Amino acid sequence: MSGTGGGAAAERPPGTSTEPADVPDVGGAAPMRPEDRFDVDRVARWLSENASGTAGLDGTPDVRQFLGGASNLTYLLRYGGGPASGGCDLVLRRPPTGTKARGAHDMRREHDLQAALAPVFPLVPTMVAYCGDEAVIGSEFYVMERIEGTILRRDVPPELGLDPAGVNALCRKAIDTLVALHDVDLEAAALGRLDRGEGYVRRQVEGWSGRYRRARTPDVGDFEATMAWLAAHQPPDLPHVLVHNDFRFDNLVLDPADPTRVVGVLDWELATVGDPLIDLGSALAYWVEADDDPAFLAIRLQPTHAPGMLTRAEVVERYCAARGLDVTPEQWLFYDVFGAFRLAGIAQQIYYRFHHGQTSNPAYGRFGDVVRILDRRCTTLIDRQP
């Protein structure tokens, strides 16, 4: 794609993008939804004045929106035709429109956490700038460098050339990446301040129970039996670590030259300090296996069903062995149920915005079914206990 200079920017209305044909080579990048547009020229001016250490920000970028997520809004800013043409690719993150959970979508926190983490966990993107002036685009936002590579969605693309052994290697390295994150020295990263002390598991159960109740719509279940079970079966906290809280394949960037190698971890919106098994349980809530219930398979978002992938039990075994933890299947049940319930809470918060007409994104309308399927999954897991 060719870059746009000042003259080209002046020929189009503010808030639009030239959206040239070659931008879609970045997976998931598509024209901006009308409701999610912003003034591109104004952002370009702001970046030219506030970005430090990033070259090639002359003119106005071509903009596309990444449509795969359902929380914060994420955009590609392509300057000068992108890296292949001597330019650069940046990524802009901003909150969604509509009602948001209290404390969620804090761009400043997300920006600062990654900036602090970079020296000790180099898989985070490089931060470019944070903007707290909502007059620029109508909300706060931050901009980071784009990590080039492959991001998996529902299936492993055939062009990656991964046979079951390659898929297995990728799966193992993904788990090892989570282990490495949990082994980060919090004090070296100056992130110990995020630790609120003992009671993390209790706060998670109470917090997500409250969020679900506030976001519930009349067409989904109440989850009261599940919430009561979780409240009655809480384990004590394990020693706290830095937790990602949304660790899954579509938040991992794979090396273009070796798709079994993770070169980036994205989407740090929910990261904090807490119990590592809560983080693992939350990750495995997305882990759908080939022989799972058809309804659960229907909401699969990542290729964990592919030949070569570890099972959920094998993931737990590998993770615990790496971190020296002894967790029985009976003990793991709490984290399994909590992960599914928490995912239902996330899905319901998204569905709430659609149900109340705060977004026209049709993808949000399907989250009601996700909540219902996860309701049944929680009940099934609990009913299987001895």
70-82 per-position pLDDT tens digit? 578 999 999 999 9
**Other CB atoms within 10 A of residue 178 CB:** 23
Contact 156, 162 (CB under 8 A): yes
What is the DSSP code string of 195-237? Answer: ---S-HHHHHHHHHHHHHHHH--TTS---HHHHHHHHHSPPPP
State in words which class domain 158-383 has: alpha beta
Q: How far apart are CA 154 and CA 301, in angstroms?
A: 5
Mean pLDDT score of the chain? 89
pLDDT band at residue 24, thresholds of 50, 70 and 90? Answer: very low
Q: How far apart are CA 144 and CA 93, in angstroms?
A: 8
Mean pLDDT of 350-376: 90
Predicted confidence (pLDDT) per residue in 258-302, tens digit: 999 999 999 999 999 999 999 999 999 999 999 999 999 999 999
Contact 75, 91 (CB under 8 A): yes
Q: How far apart are CA 333 and CA 248, in angstroms?
A: 20
Using CA atoms, how far residue 225 sits from 343, 376, 378, in Å, is 16, 11, 9
- Tell how far CA 225 is from the center of its chain: 28
pLDDT reported for residue 67: 80
pLDDT reported for residue 72: 86
pLDDT band at residue 386, thresholds of 50, 70 and 90? Answer: low
Stronger pLDDT, 96 or 337, i.e. the higher one? 337
State in words which class domain 6-145 has: alpha beta
Domain assignments of the chain as residue spans, ordered by start: 6-145, 158-383
SS3 of residue 256 by DSSP: coil
Interhelix angle 276-284/312-323, nearest 10 degrees: 160
Stronger pLDDT, 69 or 193, i.e. the higher one? 193
Of 197, 210, 203, 246, nearest to 102 by C-alpha is: 210
Predicted confidence (pLDDT) per residue in 56-114, tens digit: 788 899 999 988 665 789 999 999 999 988 899 999 999 987 544 445 568 999 999 99
pLDDT reported for residue 259: 96
Q: How far apart are CA 243 and CA 286, in angstroms?
A: 16
Mean pLDDT of 187-210: 96
Alpha helices in the chain (DSSP H): 6-10, 40-50, 107-117, 164-182, 200-215, 224-232, 276-284, 294-298, 312-323, 329-355, 362-365, 367-383
Query: Is the pLDDT confidence value at 212 over 50?
Result: yes
The structure's pTM equals: 0.88
Query: Is the pLDDT confidence value at 303 over 90?
Result: yes
- Burial of residue 122 (CB within 10 Å: 0-12, 13-18, 19+) is exposed
Q: How far apart are CA 137 and CA 131, in angstroms?
A: 10
pLDDT reported for residue 1: 28
Place of tokens 């009913």: 383
Predicted confidence (pLDDT) per residue in 133-192, tens digit: 999 999 999 999 999 999 999 999 999 999 999 999 999 999 999 999 999 999 999 999
